[in-house]
Structure 1
């Protein structure tokens, strides 16, 4: 069996952990920061959405450039710009300026995260793709646990000034670690047209889009919802991430053995149940139960969908395929934050999470009717080739 735990894979996985900690430190704290400088819930949704929608516009271009020029230049410059954006938050004093910075930050996120994710997929042996993506995704999972908790702790015991400085340090560590990784990619020569989207993964990208609308609602509004029922939102993110960390490696191995469909459909059902549970939650017990269910469902579905994307895409189009999937992710989070911000302002948090459950149901329907058959055909052809 080909080796998975190489030095480069470990460095990139640990570097991603630090980058995502910096990223997730802002998720439960930025909405509170925006309220402190005079923003309302609609403006919170718009500011969170502006970040992701900027990524949507930038990622397709980055994906095509990755396949032509390689991964490392985009990792280095993307992370450098990400660090600068984190530093500039400390100078924000109004909503308009914040929106501009969110756009800059979204650009840096699109470049760096797309390049890192594609570089890591190059390092993972194809026979261990589900397992490899499961372990790599665990770094993001741990960040989902530690990032929000560190962010909340910093603003409660220190200040927003300290929060943004911590984020700069974590981002810088991520950049330093990537320098030690070897990236097995040779830029392709010639004047090929740069592709902006991988058509073969359009159905699965649509499924991911609907799933991440709900995720946008979770990450943006759980802190505010938890505060409204006197529950520490860090508890939700810790339970969510701990469950997710435990489920991802196992679901990755099952995905490699039985195929992605075996994991994705049940996982999406569990995700729907988690959101319904959250919509009825009135205290700590309900929040914890929904966090555990969401960790199992979302934590199992996400890496399996990533693995399925790479299975359906051509080997020389992994960069643009990853960018297509990430574009769907960001579009879902961005539109989810904006749309669900309006929902929460004019209805309630309970209705917001119920709407989120409906979007995951759409995700499952799209996967069931438009993706399952393609995956079965691909697995059958692969077994014939072997």
Structure 2
């Protein structure tokens, strides 16, 4: 398989387009599910469990997804899970809360396999020096649907029945599955997989696999920062309602637009040679800490806009930067598994932002909770001192654990 030095090569563009369509369906489904569950007689607790099932399932499924991708190749996995995703959408036609929860669990597994496979495919399709830009553009592709998907879904809810809406989603899912199969045939992505098969099979359980310092430091940093991100998305609307502010939608629109813009413009600033991105990650953590701190101070429009900009820049650059760095430091033989652990840490942090910060609000207050989020980002910044010097090219070639 030849690799491209250009992040806009045709195979890479196909990856981005399939990703955009997949997450367009995901974001539209997220908007529709609460309405559908309510029509089925679901309580607020039922809706919370159903909505949370996907992320929790995805978090635990990522290491398994990575292991299977290491064995069978990302190109083979990605079109299989897209077919499964399209099939799972038919479950929404069954008027049952149990079926709704089951479909969400299946789609959590699909999301884990899909995102891990597509990130590894992006790595495989691009050369080392284009990897940072490619992963940033892939991350951008996952965010673009959030700018229009919810709005389209809410429009459909006002115009169509739930059955008609889900039939449209099924159509989108089938189109995406067909595109994935066509891409696998035309570009040979079914054969995308790392070499050294015997080594891959032999590395499934050695103790040394768990001793990659760069992986674990990066994962803990991402987990702590994601706690702040998860708390913002979960509780900021309630906080603003509590303070009688109507700026919630404007905050999230601003943050999303800043995030999308920075992911595109900032992709060239992401190191793509395996060097430790200490300064860039430290900068983003400071921005995230400042953004959370501002939310604890005031809900005045100017403060909220400033917080949205700071958080948008921080979370736009942090994830693709750490993911790119980790992709260079883990061995190719277990890259899927170890990258899956890193991505799972981000999911875990986002979930903890809702699970752990809720009781903190009950015990203290919303401002204290956002101060705690800022502290998490500062603590994550202190962990940067734990990185060892970046490995040389020869060391990376030999896949030596840090």
Bucket of the pairwise TM-score, normalised by the shorter protein: 0.7 to 0.9
Q: Determine if the alignment matches structure 1 residue 248 to structure 2 residue 256.
A: no
- Counterpart of 2:148 in 1: which secondary structure? helix
Structure 1 position 307, deviation (Å): 0.8
Asked if structure 1 preserves the Cα contact closer than 8 Å seen for 2:254 and 2:309, the reply is yes
Residue 312 of structure 2 aligns with which residue? 295
Asked if structure 2 preserves the Cα contact closer than 8 Å seen for 1:64 and 1:195, the reply is no
Residue 390 of structure 2 aligns with which residue? 377
Unaligned stretches of 5+ in structure 1? Answer: none
Residue 102 of structure 1 aligns with which residue? 104
Residue 62 of structure 1 aligns with which residue? 65
Greater CA deviation, 60-69 or 74-83? 74-83
Question: What is the correspondence of 1:334-349 to structure 2 with a 5 Å cutoff?
Answer: 334-343=351-360, 349=366
Structure 1 position 98, deviation (Å): 4.4
Larger radius of gyration: 2
**Cα offsets for 1:17-76 (capped at 9, x unmatched):** 111222233456656766774434x66554444322212222112211111111133212
Question: What is the correspondence of 1:1-386 to structure 2 with a 5 Å cutoff?
Answer: 2-27=5-30, 30=33, 37-40=41-44, 46-91=49-94, 93-94=96-97, 98-155=100-157, 158=160, 161=163, 164-179=166-181, 180-181=183-184, 182=187, 183=189, 184-185=192-193, 189-190=197-198, 191-194=201-204, 199-200=211-212, 201-225=215-239, 229=244, 231=246, 233-256=248-271, 260-282=277-299, 284-343=301-360, 349-366=366-383, 368-370=384-386, 373-374=387-388, 376-378=389-391
The 1:352–1:130 alpha-carbon spacing in structure 2 relative to 1, beyond 3 Å, is same
Asked if structure 2 preserves the Cα contact closer than 8 Å seen for 1:50 and 1:103, the reply is yes
Structure 1 position 299, deviation (Å): 0.4
C-alpha RMSD over aligned residues: 3.5
Structure 1 position 16, deviation (Å): 0.7
Name the CA distance, whole Å, in 2 between partners of 1:358 and 1:108. Answer: 34
Structure 1 position 139, deviation (Å): 0.9
Unaligned stretches of 5+ in structure 2? Answer: none
Asked if structure 2 preserves the Cα contact closer than 8 Å seen for 1:152 and 1:234, the reply is no
Asked if structure 2 preserves the Cα contact closer than 8 Å seen for 1:260 and 1:308, the reply is yes
Structure 1 position 311, deviation (Å): 1.8
Instruction: Give the length in aligned residue pairs.
Output: 379
